[in-house]
Amino acid sequence: MANINKDDDNYIYFWVGKNIKKYRKLKGWSQSKLASECNFTDTFISNIENNSFQTFSLNTLYHISKKLEIPIKLLFEELEEDTTNNK
């Protein structure tokens, strides 16, 4: 399913971006609406969702998850499923 290898340093950014996009769309919001709600730029949200692998803080993810009204752990759900078998 992923277009990126688990050994790639950007693996976590790939999944977080996919999940932010997923939950944003489930809420019926555009990238612009999420950006506005979070006081971020449209470009910042777009870069997170579109695999530009822009770095961001845990605080940023926490803020986004609060605005999307989801637990922050859901932003990592694909990653958790993928890495469970590697233990």
Could you give the C-alpha distances from 74 to 18, 42, 43, 70, in angstroms and in order? 11, 22, 23, 7
pLDDT in tens, 28-54: 999 999 999 999 999 999 999 998 877
Evaluate whether 82 touches 2 at the Cβ level (below 8 Å): yes
- Rounded Cα distance, 71 and 85, in Å: 23
pLDDT at 7: 78
Q: What is the pTM of this model?
A: 0.82
Segment 60-80 mean pLDDT? 90
Output DSSP code: residue 61.
H
pLDDT at 79: 56
Evaluate whether 11 touches 86 at the Cβ level (below 8 Å): no
For domain 20-82, give the CATH number: 1.10.260.40
Could you give the C-alpha distances from 66 to 20, 30, 48, 58, 60, in angstroms and in order? 12, 16, 17, 12, 10
